[in-house]
Structure 1
Amino acid sequence: MKTKKIVSAIGISMMLLAGCSAESGDELEVYKALEKVADQEKQFIKEQQPMTALEEKENVLYEEILSIGMKEKEKVDEKASEALQLLDEREEHLVKEQESMQRSKEEFEKAKEKIELVKDEDIEKQANKLASLMESRYKAYDLMYASYEESVELDRELYTMFQKTNVKLNDLENQISSINEMYQKVQENSEKFNQATDAYNEEKKNFYKKVKSDQE
């Protein structure tokens, strides 16, 4: 039977936190607002490691099911039940991750309001570019989240199939192929999210430098 790929959350790019050093009112408010946005993603960061650990445990169970063979139904059922429990736990972390990102989105809307108050045209222009990059990042996250969530559902279907009597090998193979295709999408969407995060972080540093230089 085909090997099932493992989704890994390791390598997700994170938002940068930077100390506020602006002195004027409007710029300082933008600084504070952007740091509040990053602060809302602490839970998102926190969820990555436990999700990865659950993925790895589930993959071990999958390999054990293959080594046992479908003839030992009772053992297969037990391993499949354990895997389904891990999927439930992984989904709980996924929900917390998504909620964290939603709070980040809501906080960023407040940050955009602060940007509109900036009087310096150059700083406002750079801040708006930052906002555009962040919106692209959120779109990339939504795609990554949707594909990851679908991969979990496909995994759930697979372990439910393992628990069925007289399941056809061809059906299992087709399901695993679907899972691997979805995992590929997860990987692609993860890379796009990382690229968007890196671009935002770089522009954020440029924005901070611009504000600081204008204040000197």
Structure 2
Amino acid sequence: MLYRKIAIIILISVIAMLSACSGASTSEKIYDHLEKAVTLEEAFEKQQDEIVKLEKKEQELYSKLINLGMDEFDKIKSVAQEAIGVIEKRKDKIEVEKESIDASKEEFNKVKELIGELEEEKAKEKANKMYDVMMDRYDAYYKLNEAYTQSLKLEKELYSMLQKKDLKQETLTKHIKKINESYKKVLEANENFNTYTEKYNKLKKEFYEAAKIEVKYEEEAKKKNE
């Protein structure tokens, strides 16, 4: 079992709307929903560092376990139980993360009806593409969440197995192989999710330009303050 950092690309947020074209009330409403959806993902973003720390902690425990001999079986059981505790904490973080995405999706869905009210065809075209990509992004996240949750289940089973004195090496090897295969799916799902996030960030910028909504992006503001 190898520790793998799952790199998550976060949605680009807008600090403030500076101006909007005359009569662009529909665009402004869409803007409000889009930026609220980003805000609702803040809890998702906050979980990332904590999850990485917990993954590192578990890897340290796993490394400690494989260096223990059977004459230290009580120690093996203690470390394995601690590792299960870390997995449970990771599971809690993943649940908070999913709740954040669920809330973001519910808010984002509010733009669907508004898109049809846009008068500028280019803005409407960009908005429809943006909407479709974001919905694909949500679907990609749920697949990532499912794959990661399955990996946690397999890891928990591993630490339960390690607490058995009659555990056979062949059984252990097969289970570790399952975990590694499971994390391959996690990495693939993560890459897919990140791809859709990048596409959405690009399309959101293009929509704001087409709708003549002038905004200041957080990343740009940070550069100016450096």
Structure 1: which amino acid aligns with 2:152?
Answer: V
Map of 2:158 onto structure 1 = 158
Which consecutive residues of structure 2, in runs of 5 or more, have no partner in the other structure? 215-226
Map of 2:9 onto structure 1 = 13
Contact kept in structure 2, 1:33 and 1:114, CA below 8 Å? no
Q: Distance in 2 between matches of 1:7 and 1:98?
A: 20
Structure 2: which amino acid aligns with 1:145?
Answer: N
Pairwise CA RMSD: 1.4
Contact kept in structure 2, 1:6 and 1:183, CA below 8 Å? no
Q: Distance in 2 between matches of 1:101 and 1:90?
A: 17
- The TM-score normalised by the length of structure 1 is 0.93
- The TM-score normalised by the length of structure 2 is 0.89
Map of 1:117 onto structure 2 = 117
Sequence identity (%): 36
| Match runs of 1:44-55 below 5 Å | 44-55=44-55
Contact kept in structure 2, 1:51 and 1:90, CA below 8 Å? yes
Deviations 1:101-158 (A, max 9, x none): 0001111111222223222222111101100010111111111111000000000000
More strand per residue: 1 or 2? 2
Structure with greater contact order relative to length (CA < 8 Å, sep ≥ 6): 2
- The offset of 1:213, in angstroms, is 7.4
What number of residue pairs does the alignment pair up? Answer: 210
Map of 2:224 onto structure 1 = none
Q: Distance in 2 between matches of 1:207 and 1:70?
A: 62
- The offset of 1:83, in angstroms, is 0.1
| Match runs of 1:126-205 below 5 Å | 126-205=126-205
Task: State the 4+ residue runs in structure 1 displaced beyond 3 angstroms.
Answer: none
